[in-house]
């Protein structure tokens, strides 16, 4: 009986540690305070750069179902127009007597896919194509496909290496064997195609303050680039 009581007690323990998560679109910044699945929120307030974000939208959490459904946190969420925020954001969220804050320094920086690898000469099997989004502090990953004249994919990247503020995407060293547009090109063949590249970037949260608080970096909308490319087999 004592053993059963201990198990039940431990199963009912929750840390309820807070997390601030953010979402970014071309026009809005969203802020969410996440707590344990059974958390009941108290009096809430959120402000960005001193601007009141209004009433929170409350979403109840769920403990999930063992083996079939993951648990989800309870959350209190707000949205604010980016036009009101400016180039950086100082976010303050309070719940009763608890205060949480976060800073995002490069919120509104201009971003666009930039190729760090010149495509003026043909790439070769085993090459890497490096790219960034123009903001060195961002965390950047991505992927590409090389498309034929009819738009169908001929191959995709076969390696990814994260760099400071950029990403290096590898071309297959055995590209002829993994070329899906017709017969494998013979050695020495040049193929003109289209590079369709996509970057997946996140803006870092530069400060995160509050008891047991964690802050998630802000995922950006995917960024695409399509440009001619030549491959020398």
Q: Where are the beta strands (DSSP E) in 138-209?
A: 139-147, 153-156, 159-163, 166-170, 190-203, 207-209
Whole-angstrom Cα distance, residue 130 to residue 118?
9
On whether the 114-204+217-232 domain is CATH 3.30.1370, my answer is: no
| pTM: predicted TM-score of the whole model, two decimal places | 0.80
pLDDT tens per residue, range 121-159: 999 999 999 999 999 999 999 999 999 999 999 999 999
Rounded-to-integer distance, Cα 3 and Cα 1, Å: 5
Share of the chain above pLDDT 90, in %: 82
Q: CATH class for domain 2-104? A: mainly beta
Q: Where are the domains of the chain?
A: 2-104, 114-204+217-232
């Amino acid at each position: 009986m004592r053993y059963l009581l201990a198990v039940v007690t431990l199963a009912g323990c929750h840390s309820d540690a807070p997390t601030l998560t953010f979402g970014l679109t071309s026009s809005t910044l969203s802020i969410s305070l996440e707590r344990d699945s059974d958390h009941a929120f108290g009096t809430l307030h959120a402000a960005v750069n001193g601007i009141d974000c209004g009433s929170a939208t409350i979403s109840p959490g769920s403990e999930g179902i063992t083996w079939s459904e993951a648990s989800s946190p309870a959350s209190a969420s707000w949205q604010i127009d980016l036009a009101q925020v400016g180039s950086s954001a100082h976010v303050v969220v309070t719940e009763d007597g608890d205060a949480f804050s976060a800073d995002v320094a490069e919120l509104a920086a201009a971003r666009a896919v930039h190729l760090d690898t010149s495509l003026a000469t043909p790439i070769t099997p085993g090459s890497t194509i490096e790219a960034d989004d123009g903001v060195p502090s961002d965390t950047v990953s991505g992927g590409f496909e090389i498309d034929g004249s009819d738009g169908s994919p001929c191959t995709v990247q076969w390696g990814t290496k994260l760099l400071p503020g950029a990403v290096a995407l590898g071309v297959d060293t055995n590209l002829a064997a993994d070329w899906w547009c017709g017969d494998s090109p013979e050695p020495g063949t040049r193929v003109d195609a289209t590079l369709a590249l996509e970057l997946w970037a996140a803006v870092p949260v530069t400060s995160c303050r509050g008891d047991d608080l964690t802050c998630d970096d802000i995922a950006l909308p995917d960024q695409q680039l399509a440009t001619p490319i030549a491959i020398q087999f």
